[in-house]
Each structure stands twice: as C-alpha cells, then as structure tokens.
Structure 1
Amino acid sequence: MTNITRWNPVNEFEDLINRYNRYFGLARGNGEREGKDLFSRSDWAPAVDIRETPEAFRIEAELPGMSKDDVKVTVQDGVLSIRGERKQEEETNDSKHHRVERIYGSFLRRFTLPENVDENSIRANFKDGILSLTLTKAEPAEPKAIEVDVQ
C-alpha cells in the first residue's frame, strides 16, 4: 500500500517565511516572539523537558549532533542558562544538498529557578545528545522572627 501526500506549495512558503523571521528575530504572525523564555535572539532553541521529584528538578535538553564541548551551562542571579552552537558540516565538491531541514547556529535557553533550588548543587551530564541537569532542592528557610520594640 502506498501513501500519497498531496504537495502544498503554501506550506513551503510558510516555512520560508518562518525561517526568515527566525533569522532576523522578528515576531511571529500571532504577535508573539518565538520562545517566551528566550531573552535574546537565537537561531534555534533545543526542545526541553522539565520534571520535578520531591528531591530535585530535572531538565533534559535535546542536543543531537553536539558534544559537551559545544554547550555551556551557567547560573547567575537565580537564572539557569544553557548556551551553545550546532555547527553545519563543511560542504565538499563531491556532494550536493537536496534538502536541509536541520537548524544550525547558536542557541540560548534561560530558566528562572524556583527559590527552593540549591544553586551550588546543580549537576550536569551529557550522553547521546541529551543534556541532563539535576537541580537539587534546598531545605526551605525558616522565617526568622524579629523583635520589635515599641517606644
């Protein structure tokens, strides 16, 4: 049995417009910027899953074709940043591209950390194109009572 897909030239035109807008950091058609958690323009944004357990938060980012040397993770002022660049392979004279769908270039994802995360205990692991971050929860700080003298 053969599946037949009807070609729609409008879809390819929309894809071209989306790539143009993404390249120049322009707004989408619905008025929103791409990726609400991006603070600066990026060429692309890796897909991210965030899970919570009673002990920690776990962030997993898909970074296929990249190595740990291509990625930098930082924490500053309660914001976790994942930054990197996926480089395109050099073209050779003995091959030509018929279609390029993967996105190359730099990216930046930033996440505001909850107050109950211990910033000093964040661990990172990179395996099979997946960056895994473990953010251990801190014990909640007990409120400190302050005596107020009435005069």
Structure 2
Amino acid sequence: MSNITRWNPISEFDDLMNRYNRMLGLARTNGDREGKDLFSRSDWAPAVDIKETPEAFTVEAELPGMTKDDVKVTVHDGVLTIQGERKSEEETKDKKLHRIERFYGSFLRRFTLPDNVDENGVKASFKDGLLKLSIQKAEPKEPKAIEVDVQ
C-alpha cells in the first residue's frame, strides 16, 4: 500500500519566495507562520521578481487582466504591501464558461524592506499588466560620535 501526498503548488511557491527573500535580505520578520496565514487570507498570489541595482530595488509583479485601479501599494514600518483583486467573468445566458484556469479573487503580498531603503522614495508604474516598483536606497547612516565632557 502506498501513501499519496497531495501536491500543493502554493506551499512550494511560498517556500521559494521565502528563500529568495532571505537571499536578498528581505526575510519576513514573523517566520513561517506569516507565510501560511498570508496565503490563507488570499485567493491567489501574483508572481513577483525582485532585483537590486546599486541605487535601488525593483519589484515587478505580474497582474494580467488588471488595471492600476485594481491594485493598492503601501509602505509602512519597513513592510511593502501589494494587494488587490482580480474579478472573475460572470456566466451569462449567451455565454457559457467551459474552463477556468486563471486565478481570480483577492491577493496580498508583503515584503520586509531592508534598512538601507528610503520609504518615501518609492515610485510605481503600471503598464500591460506589469506593476513595477522602484524603491530608492538611502544613504547609509554614519554612526554619530558624541563627545563626552568628563569633569
């Protein structure tokens, strides 16, 4: 008798993104639990690429069939949040749906930003279903030396 294991692509995707985030220094602060809760609250998760240049981080999210009004991007306390909803097509009298393979519904993605970014320097563009965020790096903060007057 053999055991059958159900394949969960969302779990594998979440593991892959956690490894990628750790590699870039964008690890989630709450560990594994946040990832599991995140996907239980979302119907699907868009594919995201994160790139780094000497000046900025670039985050690109694939959101086909959506407009910029369907997406909300926020940065708060070092966490970048991308959320939105892709509405499904309704079946009508003259149109019958035979196969649905695309994901619909709400999504929520969160990424912990590294310390060296300027949270006020985030620029966003949306074209042809691709959301592109540019997050400028901040100048590294130099340690401040305080002179102590000993009496």
* Interval containing the TM-score (normalised by the shorter chain): 0.7 to 0.9
Moved over 4 A (4+): 32-37, 148-151
TM-score, normalized by length of structure 1?
A: 0.73
- Write the letter of the residue equivalent to 1:129: G
Q: Identity rate of aligned residues, in percent?
A: 76
- Write the letter of the residue equivalent to 1:45: A
TM-score, normalized by length of structure 2?
A: 0.73
Structure with higher strand content: 2
- Larger displacement relative to structure 2 (95-104 or 76-85): 95-104
Count of aligned pairs between the two proteins: 126
Give 5+ residue unaligned stretches, structure 1: 1-13, 23-31
Q: In the aligned structure 2, how far is the partner of 1:99 from the partner of 1:150?
A: 79
Q: Give the greater-gyration-radius structure (CA).
A: 1
Tell me what 1:111 maps to: 111
State whether structure 2 residue 58 is matched by structure 1 residue 63.
Answer: no
Q: In the aligned structure 1, how far is the partner of 2:90 from the partner of 2:39?
A: 30
Tell me what 2:15 maps to: none
Give 5+ residue unaligned stretches, structure 2: 1-5, 12-31
Change (3 A) 1:36 1:132: farther
- Larger displacement relative to structure 2 (34-43 or 85-94): 34-43
Q: CA deviation at 1:150?
A: 6.3
Tell me what 1:54 maps to: 54
